[in-house]
């Protein structure tokens, strides 16, 4: 993961984004109004570790933020599992959603 890792989340405060596994390359926004330029606090729920990522776009709650550079065709990992592929690129901190990601089932 190309983000800054830090202490256990219980000491870090309220998270802005959640990843489920250390293998994840995206995290889900869990607060309203996450704005471009924010230094978002993230938590990996599997091990309760925390990280930060600089958000490059305004990202709505429930949408994803790239934790690493994701090029077109890259596999998106969430829950430690393959959940889709990128149909467009997204740099670290960029918005990931249906405009640049699709499931591989269709």
For residue 5, pLDDT over 90 is answered with no
To the question of domain 4-102 being in CATH 2.30.130.110, the answer is: yes
pLDDT for the residue 8: 43
pLDDT tens for 48-66 read 999 999 999 999 999 999 9
pLDDT of 14-52, one tens digit each? Answer: 999 999 999 999 999 999 999 999 999 999 999 999 999
Nearest to 3 by CA among 31, 22, 28: 22
User: Mean pLDDT, the chain, as a whole number?
Assistant: 91
């Amino acid at each position: 993961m190309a983000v800054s890792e830090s202490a256990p989340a219980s000491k870090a405060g309220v998270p802005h984004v959640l990843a489920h596994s250390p293998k994840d390359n995206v995290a889900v926004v869990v607060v309203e109004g996450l704005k471009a330029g924010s230094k978002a606090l993230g938590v990996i729920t599997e091990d309760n570790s925390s990280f930060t990522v600089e958000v490059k776009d305004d990202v709505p709650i429930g949408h994803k933020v790239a934790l690493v550079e994701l090029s077109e065709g890259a596999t998106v990992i969430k829950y430690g599992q393959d959940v889709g592929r990128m149909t467009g690129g997204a740099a670290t901190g960029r918005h990931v959603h249906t405009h640049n990601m699709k499931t591989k089932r269709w």
